[in-house]
Chain A
Amino acid sequence: MNKLKSMSPATRTNFLTYAAVILTFAILQPLSAAGKISPTLQGQLVPVCAYVVMALSLNLTVGVLGELSLGHAGFMSVGAFSGAVCASALQNVIPASGLRLGVSMVVGALLAGIVGTIISVPVLRLNGDYLAIVTLAFGQIIKSIVENLYVGVDAKGLHFSFLQPTMRLGEGGRMILNGPMGIPNISKISTFLAGFILIMVTLAVIFNLVNSRSGRAIMALRDNRIAAESVGINVIKYKMMAFVISAALAGAAGALFSLGQNTIVASKFDFNMSILILVYVVLGGQGKMWGSILAASFLTILPETAAMRDLKDYRMLAYAIVLILVMLATNSPALKGFFARFFRRKEDKTEKGGAQ
């Protein structure tokens, strides 16, 4: 305990966050294995982990980098579909489901990271509102692309087709991804343990990043871009770094999520999903990782409980209201700047007069 007190407040918070996650897992895992928790909660364990990682990774963009992203579900989608395709294609190659899941999550992360890199080239030359709107558009584009993508597998490997549902596959070949129908019959290989590990890895990545030279540079951009440039910090490089790491983590979460479902369709990862995750981040507090974990956990489980199920249709409405209220109550430059544009036309543009 003395050691805990001697830590800096930030280190202590990080340490306690790790500890709380480990403790929760240590309690829930044996209960879950013994079948002592309700079927509803049981079914939610993996999705909750995925949403927690989504919230954490978005918090890297919103809370640490200070840019508003409205297309985070797009990266989850890339990870979900690439991960599920990968797992399906490797079914016979890697029989061990744990390893196959791990490989699929890495593939999901890599692909989402690559897509994030491609997207970041145009996106990161923009700031604030413009960046937010472009990420929104990007989320829609990903959805349309996946809805029109067909993937099959046969002895020769994977076959891709865009817009054309018909595909000539060799002997024993089968379709994996069927455009708007998504991926049916996924073998559910995601486990609570894998979800727990992914959360821990995500926390380690974010905490280690934030406490390193690169993470400091990212936070410097958030606090004062002009000052950051004046001390020689490359804005594009560090914005991209945050954005791509955030995308890759979301991709891993996507793979974890999809491999815990029977079926996934592209329309699941829509604008509503992006907003949902943004609500977790805003509600939990920007830059506060433990806040994201709590908000994502509760807001995922709560609507599934018997008492709330009837009200599920009003969920997005409730979240929208929560988002507005929290924004009014907190001081978030990224969000405030964005919405102030719609509520108040005359925004004081501090950057306009150059560097005073």
Chain B
Amino acid sequence: MAMPKREPTKLVPVPSTNIIPERDVDKSPILECRHLGIDFGGLTAVNDFNMAIGRTEIAGLIGPNGAGKTTVFNLLTKVYQPTRGTILLDGVDTHSMSTVQVNKAGIARTFQNIRLFSNLSVEDNVKLGLHNHISYGLWQGLFRLPGYWQGEKVAHERAMELLSIFDMENLASTKAGSLPYGAQRRLEIVRALATNPSLLLLDEPAAGMNPSETAELMENIVKIRDTFQIAVLLIEHDMSLVMSICEGICVLNFGQIIAKGTPDEIQADPVVIEAYLGKQKEG
């Protein structure tokens, strides 16, 4: 892959934080990245990534393929350990946390290449999201003690409630792997929500969806934010989705933030237009 040469002087200076919506400004941000970066051997996949997300903000992360967007998610969820920089989740440095601990601390995600528990039922997938919120242990399960029945009952009810966000209750006993593509993406979101996050990361949630499914998804993302009062950071190539629901947008190119701002600002930014919007609309 030939990398086109970039003139460093053309880069706009990067503000240290994102545009945080009015209602969230007086609260501390749920997530703050400072000078975050990672190298893979000689390749700098992400560099000097600075971003802050408000507590109930829907933020977007866009950029061409290979820009490093998914890598940012992998850094936030500790699939990769950052080479440089700090991640503050609700003011707490996640430096020493594992993927599991980061989830318990409040970050849940979906994957660009859907990763469901495909041999398990839809309901079980959601119950796995609820795993750390179901209180009975191994022995209660093995001997079917009262704690087991109680725990499973609560989990079942909660799972159904969560599935109802996307009207998926009737699919509860279907094998996750045999769901249509769009439903798999929705199930991944439900499973992530089940972990009770304060920040939801969505990696190309509308990929492979038709326009009406995408429109419905947009509504639901907003609904989720409103109902659960959480922050959402989404990676998306569908510009209509990003521009209509994101309050703050961050544009990444070759691992570097090249612009930040509101949708209007981003759409008018000549650097963004040159690097991304103008050239390859569908990425």
> Are B141 and A209 in contact, with the CB atoms below 8 A?
yes
Q: Report the bound CA distance from A220 to B115 in whole Å.
A: 11
Instruction: Assess whether B99 is in contact with A213, with CB atoms less than 8 Å apart.
Output: no
**Smallest CB separation, A161 vs chain B (Å):** 37
A215 within 8 A of B: yes
Judging by beta carbons under 8 Å apart, are B117 and A224 in contact?
yes
Most buried by B among A208, A219, A220: A220
Q: Is B220 an interface residue (CB 8 A)?
A: no
Contact assessment for A231 and B115 in the assembled complex, using a CB-CB cutoff below 8 Å? no
Cβ-defined contact, B131 with A233, below 8 A:
yes
Q: Total A-B residue pairs with C-beta atoms closer than 8 Å? A: 113
Q: Which of B115, B144, B194 contacts A224 (CB 8 A)?
A: B115
Cβ-closest chain A residue relative to B78: A229
Task: Count residues on chain A whose CB falls below 8 Å from chain B CBs.
Answer: 30
Interface residue ranges of A197-234 to B (CB < 8 Å)? 205, 208-209, 211-217, 219-220, 222-224, 226-234
- Residues of B contacting A38 with CB < 8 Å? none
Q: Which residue of B lies closest to A205 (CB)?
A: B142
Q: Among B103, B120, B144, which residue has its beta carbon within 8 angstroms of that of A208?
A: B144
Given A223-B117, A233-B100, the answer on whether A356 and B112 have CB atoms closer than 8 Å is yes
> Contact: A232 with B132, CB < 8 Å?
yes
Given contacts A232-B195, A233-B128, contact A241 B138 (CB under 8 A): yes
Residues of A close to B113: CB separation below 8 A = 356
Contact with A along B120-156 (1 / 0, CB 8 A): 1000100111011010111011111000100110010
> A95 contacts the other chain (Cβ, under 8 Å)?
no
A355 interface hit (Cβ, 8 Å): yes
Q: Check B112–A231 contact: CB distance below 8 A.
A: no
B118 within 8 A of A: yes
What is the CB-to-nearest-CB distance from A69 to chain B, in angstroms, rounded to a whole number? 20
Q: Mark A235-267, 1 if CB is under 8 A from B, else 0.
A: 100000100000000000000000000000000
> Which chain B residues lie closer than 8 Å to A212 at the CB level?
136, 138, 140-142, 148, 152
Residues of A within 8 Å of B192, CB to CB, are: 230-231
* Inter-chain contacts of B79 with A (CB < 8 A): 226, 229, 354-355
> Can you name the residue of chain B whose Cβ is closest to the Cβ of A212?
B141
Q: In the complex, what distance in Å separates the CA atom of A212 from the CA atom of B191?
A: 17
Do B103 and A220 touch (CB < 8 A)?
no
Q: Is the CB of B118 within 8 A of A224?
A: yes
Q: Whose C-beta in chain A lies nearest to the C-beta of B107?
A: A230
A205 surroundings in chain B (CB, below 8 A): 142
Contact of A355 among B74, B100, B119, B195 (CB under 8 A): B74
B119 and A231 contacting across the interface, CB-CB below 8 Å = no
A232 contacts B124, C-beta separation under 8 Å: no
Q: Is B109 an interface residue (CB 8 A)?
A: yes
Q: Which residue of B lies closest to A236 (CB)?
A: B100
Interface centre among A205, A208, A230, A354 (most CB of B within 10 A): A230
B117-A232 in contact (CB<8A) = no
Is A8 an interface residue, CB under 8 A from the partner? yes
Which B residues are in CB contact (< 8 Å) with A222?
119
Given contacts A354-B80, A356-B70, contact A208 B141 (CB under 8 A): yes
In the assembled complex, the Cα of A232 lies from the Cα of B118 at a distance in Å of 18
Give residues of chain B (67-126) contacting chain A, Cβ–Cβ below 8 Å.
70-71, 73-74, 77, 79-80, 98-100, 103-104, 108-109, 111-113, 115-120, 124
Partner of B120, one of A223, A233, A234, A356: A223
Residues on the B chain within 8 Å of A356, using CB: 70, 111-113
Is B28 part of the binding interface, using a Cβ–Cβ cutoff of 8 Å?
no
Q: Does B229 contact A (CB under 8 A)?
A: no
CB neighbours (8 Å) of B74 from chain A are 354-355
Interface centre among B71, B74, B99, by most chain A C-beta atoms within 10 angstroms, is B99
B178 within 8 Å of A by Cβ? no
Interface pair B124/A216, CB less than 8 Å apart? yes
For the complex, what is the distance from the CA of A230 to the CA of B103, rounded to whole Å?
6
Contact between chains at A234 and B141 (CB < 8 Å): no
For window 49-71 of chain B, which residues contact chain A by CB distance below 8 Å? 70-71
The answer to whether B116 and A229 have CB atoms under 8 Å apart is: no
Give Cα A37–Cα B82 distance, bound, in whole angstroms.
Answer: 68
Tell me the smallest distance from the CB of B147 to a CB of chain A, in Å: 10
Q: How far is the CB of B2 from chain A (nearest CB, A)?
A: 21
Q: A213-B136, A220-B120 are in contact. Are A227 and B141 (CB under 8 A)?
A: no
Instruction: Give me the 10 closest cross-chain CB pairs, A-B, nearest first.
Output: A212-B141, A232-B103, A227-B115, A223-B117, A229-B99, A355-B79, A356-B113, A224-B115, A232-B132, A214-B138
Q: What is B's interface to A at a CB cutoff of 8 Å?
A: 70-71, 73-74, 77, 79-80, 98-100, 103-104, 108-109, 111-113, 115-120, 124, 127-129, 131-132, 134, 136-138, 140-144, 148, 151-152, 155, 173, 191-192, 194-195
15 contacts between A and B (CB under 8 A): A208-B143, A208-B144, A211-B141, A212-B142, A213-B136, A216-B127, A219-B124, A226-B79, A228-B128, A230-B108, A230-B192, A233-B128, A241-B138, A355-B73, A355-B79
What is A's interface to B at a CB cutoff of 8 Å?
8, 205, 208-209, 211-217, 219-220, 222-224, 226-235, 241, 354-356
* Known A208-B141, A212-B138, A226-B115; further 15 A-B contacts with Cβ < 8 A: A208-B142, A209-B142, A212-B140, A212-B141, A213-B134, A214-B137, A216-B127, A217-B128, A219-B117, A220-B128, A224-B115, A229-B98, A232-B103, A354-B80, A356-B113
